[in-house]
């Protein structure tokens, strides 16, 4: 069973030996390995049960190391990196030849970010290599935002979990690439950095956060981010299949009058979307533990981090939709 602690030197030693270590970031916990060690990379795919076509994110120390890994950087994306790194932004750029193909799943591009969490920053400063890290959850499941979430699902397969407390952002990073035809940035995954914040720096963006069998970011399959119980976006739909006492809810600020109060999880009593984002994934896990059959999670306002929250809720509910169709 994995040890949970805060020893970056122990984490460093394990990573140097090609072992996996779970690391805290400001978005979600990552399952990290030496990004230049293909055997360690292969182990990430194995532990996560992640298909090899789904590439990993490269985590680097600081913005000025970007040219070591990518061929060129459009000026607007450089501006985004300077403005938002360290932070919940991932950039997809043309990779240099020494970036392992296993990391990028054979794509000519690599996804890169500079994480903001102080423990992981301190760890990266100690290392002579960057870290590859997907979210530290089994493929298709909700991302972990606390060390105990990682321990519960992957603890048996890991030696060490670096505990940085609950993640401050709580949603995965926003992924931005470049659209060659329209010559502008393109959002490939909505996440912990809002469109409004990005557009204030980069001007209008394309958003291609599609979910299909061949999504723009290969990990963006519909039916992702799903907890172990059915999720419904609407109470009336849930009530067609279950009785009120069989349901839990996850709501922004107001409980649903029709359901027992002890089964309702409130994300932010004052209706703050950043607070709701912080708590969302823990709430999905908590709701799964309650003595209920299914979860009702109504969409939140579609602005700021609300867009990414709604994206995750729609994906969590998609499995349901297909089961009852
Ligand atoms: O916040 C985050 O981004 C967290 C923390 C740990 O950094 N990581 C994370 O990794 O969410 P993961 O592996 O769960 O999601 C990475 C996403 C996947 O959907 C993958 O398909 C996409 O990034 N991706 C990676 N490389 C790509 C590329 N070259 N082009 C397009 N999408 C890419
Ligand atoms: Mg993930």
Ligand index nearest the alpha carbon of residue 221: 1
Asked if residue 296 lies in contact with residue 235, where contact means CB atoms within 8 angstroms, the answer is yes
- Closest atom of ligand 1 relative to the 57 alpha carbon: 25
Give the confidence band of 291 by pLDDT, cuts at 50, 70, 90. Answer: very high
Please, are residues 309 and 225 in contact by the beta-carbon 8 Å criterion? no
Q: Which ligand sits nearest to residue 145's alpha carbon?
A: 1
Nearest-angstrom CA–CA distance, 285 and 263: 13
Instruction: Among 136, 138, 143, 217, say which to mutate for ligand 1: greatest number of ligand atoms within 8 Å of CB.
Output: 217
The protein residue whose alpha carbon is closest to atom 32 in ligand 1 is 217
83-103 pLDDT, tens digit each: 999 999 999 999 999 999 999
**pLDDT confidence of 213, banded at 50, 70, 90?**
very low
pLDDT digits (tens, 9 = 90+) for 44-53: 999 999 999 9
> Which ligand has the shortest distance to the CA of 26?
1
CA distances from 79 to 26, 58, 72, 201, 209 (A): 21, 19, 13, 8, 22
Nearest Cα residue to atom 31 of ligand 1: 217
How far is ligand 2, taken at its centre, from the CA of residue 303, in Å?
Answer: 22
Is the previous residue joined to 57 through a cis bond, with omega within 30 degrees of 0?
no
> Pick the residue with more confidence: 251 or 213?
251
- Residue owning the nearest CA to atom 27 of ligand 1: 111
27: CA distance to ligand 1 center in Å? 12
- Given the CA of residue 50, which atom of ligand 1 is nearest to it? 13
**Mean of all residue pLDDT scores within the chain:** 94
Of 213 and 234, more confident: 234
Tens digits of residue pLDDT in 21-30: 999 999 999 9
Q: Which of 51, 60, 90 to mutate to test the pocket of ligand 1 (most atoms within 8 A of CB)?
A: 90
Cβ contacts of 83 within 8 Å, gap of 6 or more? 201
Q: How far is the CA of 137 from the centre of ligand 2 (A)?
A: 7
Q: How far does residue 181's CA lie from ligand 1's centre (Å)?
A: 23
pTM of the predicted structure, to 2 decimals? 0.95
pLDDT of residue 223: 54
Q: What is the pLDDT of residues 103-150, one digit of tens each?
A: 999 999 999 999 999 999 999 999 999 999 999 999 989 999 999 999
């Amino acid at each position: 069973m994995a040890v949970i602690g805060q020893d970056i030197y122990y984490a460093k030693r394990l990573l140097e030996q090609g072992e996996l270590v779970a690391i805290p970031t400001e978005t979600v916990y990552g399952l990290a390995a030496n990004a230049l060690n293909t055997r360690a990379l292969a182990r990430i795919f194995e532990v996560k049960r992640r298909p090899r076509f789904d590439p990993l994110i490269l985590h680097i120390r600081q913005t000025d190391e970007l040219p070591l890994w990518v061929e060129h950087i459009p000026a607007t994306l450089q501006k985004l990196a300077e403005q938002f790194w360290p932070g919940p932004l991932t950039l997809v750029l043309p990779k240099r030849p020494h970036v392992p193909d296993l990391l990028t799943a054979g794509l000519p591009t690599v996804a890169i970010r500079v994480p903001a969490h102080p423990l992981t920053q301190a760890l990266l400063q100690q290392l002579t290599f960057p870290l590859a890290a997907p979210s530290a959850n089994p493929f298709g499941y909700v991302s972990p935002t606390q060390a105990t979430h990682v321990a519960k699902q992957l603890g048996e397969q890991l030696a060490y979990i670096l505990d940085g407390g609950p993640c401050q952002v709580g949603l995965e990073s926003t992924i931005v690439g470049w659209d060659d035809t329209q010559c502008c940035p393109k959002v490939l995954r909505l996440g912990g950095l809002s469109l409004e914040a990005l557009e204030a720096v980069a001007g209008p963006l394309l958003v291609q956060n599609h979910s299909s069998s061949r999504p723009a970011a290969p990990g963006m399959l519909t039916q992702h981010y799903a907890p172990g119980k059915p999720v419904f976006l609407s109470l009336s739909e849930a009530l067609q299949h279950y009785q009120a006492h069989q349901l839990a809810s996850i709501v922004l600020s107001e409980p649903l009058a029709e359901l027992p109060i002890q089964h309702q999880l409130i994300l932010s009593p004052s209706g703050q979307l950043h607070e709701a984002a912080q708590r969302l994934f823990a709430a999905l896990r908590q709701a799964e533990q309650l003595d209920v059959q299914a979860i009702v999670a109504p969409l939140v306002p579609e602005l700021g981090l609300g867009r990414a929250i709604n994206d995750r809720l729609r994906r969590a509910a998609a499995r349901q939709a297909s089961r009852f169709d």
